[in-house]
Structure 1
Amino acid sequence: MQRRSLIQRGALAGLVAAGIAPAVHAQAATRWRLASGFARPLDLLYGGAETFARKVGEMTGGRFQIEVHAAGELMPARAVLDGVQQGAIEACHTAGASFAAKDEVFAIGSALPFGMNARQLSAWMTEGNGLKLTREFYGRLDALNFSCGNTGAPAGAWFRREIRSPHDFKGLKFCFGGLAPRVLERLGGVPQKLADSEVVAALAKGTIGAAEGLSPYDDQKLGLQKAASHYAYPGWWSAGLQLELLVNRKAFDALSAEYKAIVEAACAFTQLDMQARYAARNPVALQQLIRGGTVAQAFPKPVLEAAFKATLDLDRELSARNAGWKKIHGDYLAFQKEALSGARYAEAPFDAFLQSMKW
């Protein structure tokens, strides 16, 4: 039965990718409201929800319509999870790391310092215990989670001055999301809570000295390069931002089996589509930023080592006081170690060789 289910889902995903609507039995029209955690100018992040909604509509012949609302239209970005939990909306499209202040476990399936990349995280969710464990967690909130878009690669961060050693973080006011502030605090940084719309202006005025980047493409659209000239990489605080579709459990249970499968397939399409869009746009945007005067600099190894040590310290602290973190992140970390052991003999040396060659 499990094999038959996998074959059926694979066939459905193939129809989605081909843009062909599968035959759907006549059903009553269904309408959902979906709140995005992103503003419209972030066309790829916000656009993920539109891609998902469009695919659902196409595969149901227009009988399942999902209205997408940008952050702030129905509710603030940080309230979308509460909206789903309370049944005010049927679904939201967001990054779990945005809610790490509520419970650090939210960040595990989204973005972690020195965490898994997009491919590894997808493998953990589908072939490992990731989906089972995270659905147990979201189940307590009467919500169901689906992977629904990933930025695909770690972004850099913007600094008003060059970071040369771990000591440069001492007293540095910064604005980062997820669990990164907990790590940077251990290095002496001073986290600042700002609305997303305030970050660029605060960086330009010197109110803060550093801000997290989303991606070269998004950062260029936001104008971060006008506020600070130093772009430091790699983005160790997030190996790729994983987005999730969170659905109210009662709303999902009310769907037919066909519509449930279509929701799942549309999420799978959006996951691949967003990664492809970022992979195509980020290199072009980064080169434009550099030609425009941005100074791209790699974090010195001592900085990365200090941040890694601080991340391990944070993990030990959370494992001691958060049972959910210990259970889920323990499984996550075991899977990551296995994935890295394989990459060491495969893609890592291959990528390093190609990047060293002159074309």
Structure 2
Amino acid sequence: MRLLIATDAWHPQVNGVVRSLENMAAAGAAFGFETVFLTHQDFASVPLPGYREIRLAYATKRHVARLWDDLRPTHVHISTEGTVGYATRRYCLAHCRPFTTSYHTRFPEYLSARAPVPEAWSYAWLRRFHGASNGTMVSTPSLERDLDARGFTKLMRWTRGVDTDLFQPRPTNAPEPADLAGLPRPIFLSVGRLAVEKNLEAFLRLDLPGTKVVIGDGPDRARLAAIDPGARFLGTRTGADLAALYAGADVFVFPSLTDTFGIVLLEALACGVPVAAYPVTGPLDVIGGSGAGILDHDLRAAAMAALDLPRARCRAEALSYTWAESARQFYDNIAVAHGTVPARRPALETQAEAAIHLG
């Protein structure tokens, strides 16, 4: 079986959508699937104004038709609602091809933060977009309840995972990362895209002791850096470098009010770092009553209280999230929505087994 994933979110973007799709593709063979992608790289594209790392593709149904014979998919998943996703949706509907979708991003809230677009209009469009699919994958119970209340149908659960071999607590007596060495403690860390919808301003305006450290880049960097001149902005970091910076922090602060999950929450927990966040979709589901973080509408109070949480509890909570289980849910959803049963191996039971199959 060959699964086509159509997505507007792809390299060079660094975000949770891209990481999730990469992990699903890596796991495909274990579930009887070869995975191919349709992205902005397959079309002419231009940088999104004010957000150059995001490419806006000139994708149409006719362009998708030209590529279809080479792609030869037996199953289709549309990951995003951008031009690539919309063109693929139009082609599938015109040719009576079933497909699934996923709901990664609260675009109505994002748009309302950037422009005077009523959320009701955006949700009506998204409801129509996803309503044509055989199933819409959502990452958390609270998001599923919210979308169900807004009239979305055929919702399917697809959780996320974390590489607990890469993201680990700092070994005893290991030196601090050079970027953190000598900074006043405690270190409050935030990781994510530097854009208005991430609400990083709320973090930077907190009156906290020690040092605020921000990892990531984006169109809002200059404005955010001016809010707190004492904060350290380290730019985009990946791999072992990113993991070491997580592990060197005292508290991970997640100020977003609009993320649907927040893979960075799992990465912080896997490094033994407690989380401070608002009690909203994403943190409510990932942190909840786990004791691995503090959720409070007073973000400063949450950040200060998180300092007292045991780091071992954070690590233990992260170990319950694996990319293997995420892949099992994803491919089971694909099979159910398309009316097929994948010829897959038994579910992977441990993170070590997952690492073998996911490369």
* TM-score normalised to structure 1 length: 0.30
More contact order relative to length (CA 8 Å, sep ≥ 6):
1
Higher relative helix content: 1
* TM-score normalised to structure 2 length: 0.30
